[in-house]
Amino acid sequence: MANRAHQNPNQNPKKLFPLLSLLIFASIFLLLSISNKTSFSSSSSLSHPTFFKPNDRSDPVISHPWPCNYSDGKWIYSSNFRFNDRYGSTCKEIFKGWSCLLNNKSNAEEIPKWRWKPGTCHLHPFDPLKFLHTYRDTNIGFVGDSLNRNMFVSLFCTLKRVSREVKKWRPVGADRGFTFLQYNLTIAYHRTNLLARYGRWSANANGGTLEALGYKEGYRVDVDVPEVTWAKASNFHDILIFNTGHWWWAPSKFDPVKSPMLFFEKDQPIIPPISPDVGLDKVLKHTIHFVEKTARPGAIKFFRTQSPRHFEGGDWDQGGSCQRLQPLLSEQVEELFSLKNNGTNVETRVVNQHLYEALKGSHFHVLDITHMSEFRADAHPSTAGGKKHDDCMHWCLPGITDTWNDLFVTLLNFIKGKK
């Protein structure tokens, strides 16, 4: 009996075949279902950002179906980097305060030798010649403050290294612009500090709503009116890169007592008066709506996240400096930028929170450069910037904004289905 019981499972294998087939089919179906759920969604879904909050950072991060999460990674030193691999210090468009090599910053040659390595993939330097060929007959506009000019100059200098037939030409409202004639590719920078129109405001002798509240002077900010410098940019450019943030928490520009920001909507003051952070929310809302309404068909729209400052020991007007010669460690990044510490440079993640919220449901893509840049306390002009104080806000060129452009081109190619 024992022997027959042991041999029974193998006596009629034909009876087991349907059961095994069913198990195999079910396993394959389960694997395919999991694969479909984890695969990247179609390009049409790229327009709608989703959000998650990782455990190791106090600010939310936007998740996109890119090939990988480019915002998390580490900087790796590459000793074989040469300036001519990207562009040299001789590019005339480099603002003199950002040319750290010519200004004899001690680590200027070391700054571009650090390469950003995302955790699960590679971010390669983009090929400027291939970019010119791929995006011929295209208009690219940078809209924002001087940090977007920093990025614009980086892109221009990289492209000019391989194509010198360039004509200075500015679209309406642009601060500066160039056309690469052989490719009919135009890139331009539209300067705007707040995105919204603003200007000096003084009390009217005949009185008014704000005057009745005791306001005598300040800055009028029309939250629903784009600044004239870029008002026509959205229906001219095929690709747009926006930024804002640094001017919103600038008491040296908008003193909350002596020259406060006074917000207007539909040509009327907003009563009761609102704080700058609420004003920023309104400006972002109106800007996104305006761009989506006026953009060219098929236009690709990016909003770049906040570029971090690296003042230590005080703010720029309080003796703050950025004397580091190496990228920060992860724990140092959290010490400087964690919201719970409320440090000198906390505006970085605060601005991003407003930005993430405003972009929900929009057709903007997010160019997330914040976390990778938080490490690079070594890459600012510092005392070599030529100012009376350390420049711990802008970036040396060549430098980190080259990496921003590597990311920009990588995401742009992915959106366009280019390889």
CATH number, residue 104: 3.40.50.1110
Q: Is residue 126 one of the residues assigned to a domain?
A: yes
Q: Is residue 343 one of the residues assigned to a domain?
A: yes
Per DSSP, the three-state class of 181 is coil
Q: Is residue 366 one of the residues assigned to a domain?
A: yes
Determine the Cα–Cα distance for residues 380 and 391; give it in Å rounded to an integer.
7
| Whole-number pLDDT of residue 278 | 97
Mention every residue, 6+ apart, whose C-beta is less than 8 A from residue 409.
126, 131
Q: Is residue 130 one of the residues assigned to a domain?
A: yes
From residue 278, alpha-carbon distances to 169, 275, 342 in Å are 37, 5, 19
Residue bearing tokens 């990016």: 302
Residue 281 half-sphere exposure, CB side, CA atoms within 13 Å?
A: 9
| Whole-number pLDDT of residue 298 | 94
Q: Is residue 64 one of the residues assigned to a domain?
A: yes
Domain count, the chain: 1
Contact of 226 with 268, CB cutoff 8 Å: no
Q: Is residue 264 one of the residues assigned to a domain?
A: no
Q: Which domain holds residue 396?
A: 55-194+236-249+280-416
What are the start-end ranges of the E strands in 87-170? 114-118, 139-144, 166-168
Report, as ranges of residue numbers, the positions in the chain whose pLDDT lies below 50.
Answer: 1-63, 419
At 46-73, the pLDDT tens digits run 333 333 333 334 444 444 568 899 999 9
Q: Is residue 227 one of the residues assigned to a domain?
A: no
| Whole-number pLDDT of residue 418 | 66
| Whole-number pLDDT of residue 286 | 98
Q: Is 3 exposed, middle or buried (0-12, 13-18, 19+ CB in 10 A)?
A: exposed
- For the entire predicted model, the pTM comes to 0.84
| Whole-number pLDDT of residue 84 | 64
Count of C-beta atoms within a 10 Å radius of residue 12: 9
Q: Is residue 292 one of the residues assigned to a domain?
A: yes
